[in-house]
Amino acid sequence: MLEAGLVGARFVHLSCVIISFGAALFPLYSCLSADSSERLGRQLNPILITAALGALLSGLAWFGLTVANMSGELADAVDRDTLASVLWDTDFGHVWAVRAPLMILLVAAIQLPGVSHLNRRAIAIVTFLAAILLVSLAGIGHTQVNEGTSARIHVTSDVAHLLAAGAWLGGLLPLSLFLASNQKVRVPNRGVVRVLSRFSGMGYAAVAVLLASGSINSWFLVGSLSHLISTTYGQLLLVKSGLFALMVLLAAANRFWLVPAMAQSPTANGSESMLAKLRGHVLGEQVVGLVVVGVVSVLGTLDPAMYGS
């Protein structure tokens, strides 16, 4: 019961923080036109508010359920003395003492009037707060099993992994909204192609960082091929890697097939057909990405392969 609740809270929290960061970052690199920026801003604002509130509520649930899991008593999830003891007397609690105000600040920042218009200064503030909230997760995960230089390398790698995952997965939502608002395009549209190219460029960097940081993290947490194959943690990590490969294949099909075909199509119907397929692929990436977040949520509750069974 506790484990299932903890996995659920982790899943909702990770998803909400990833959306908060990736969706806020998207307008800063995508070179949207003024019309597209205004339209996307109206669509994104309620999503950002919902994601920030979801992160706050699920974050509180995550902390409370972790405390209950430590003590073995569900009642301790709302026991003031037990919560205070964990908050102030453990490294886990110290990180959450910083994260809680960050979550409140993020909710407040999204209320800034410029956010709904994707004002660069306002949206940059939201992006910064969401990024700090996202990378702070590196302080409460499996990076804590290491010490000294190994710990610093592992934390740095985990921070890079979180940011890359957030930029890619979180950016898929505003990209899908942008594509939906341009589904009636009658000719190959340079604005659409430009935004897609900018997203692809970010995606290249994100995939490279995810591959490098994922390899480093796996070295620290798995250690050997036998651990990878014989432990539950290692087997789930293989599932995660397979899902990641599927996302990369979908993204590669977008970049090297659908986007060029849409840009070079001699007819409006051809362009619309490619755009519809592209939207389907982006939706597929989002679905697979959510499954990846689900797997990560389970992995966070297990002992690393190097130390578990």
pLDDT tens digits in sequence order for the chain, 309 residues long: 788 899 999 999 999 999 999 999 999 999 888 888 889 999 999 999 999 999 999 999 999 998 888 877 777 777 888 888 888 988 888 899 999 999 999 999 999 989 989 999 999 999 999 999 999 999 887 666 667 788 789 999 999 999 999 999 999 999 999 998 877 655 557 778 889 889 999 999 999 999 999 999 988 888 788 888 889 999 999 999 999 999 999 999 888 888 787 777 655 555 677 788 888 999 999 999 999 999 999 998 888 866 655
223 φ, ψ (degrees, to nearest 5): 85, -35
Cα 32 to Cα 27: distance, rounded to the nearest angstrom: 7
Which residue type sits at 30?
Answer: S
Cα 153 to Cα 148: distance, rounded to the nearest angstrom: 9
Displacement of CA 155 from its chain's centroid (Å):
17
Which residue type sits at 184?
Answer: K
Distances 216 to 86, 225, 256 between C-alpha atoms, Å: 30, 14, 29
Domain range annotation of the chain: 1-140, 145-309
Grouping H, G, I as helix, E, B as strand and the rest as coil, residue 118 is: coil
The conformation of residue 182, written as its DSSP 8-state character, comes to T
Closest CA to 166 of 308, 55, 12, 15: 15
Q: Check if the beta carbon of residue 179 is closer than 8 Å to that of residue 11.
A: no
Closest CA to 47 of 177, 168, 194, 151: 177
End-to-end CA distance of the chain: 21
pTM beyond 0.75, yes or no: yes
Instruction: Kindly state the tokens that stand for 241.
Output: 């890697």
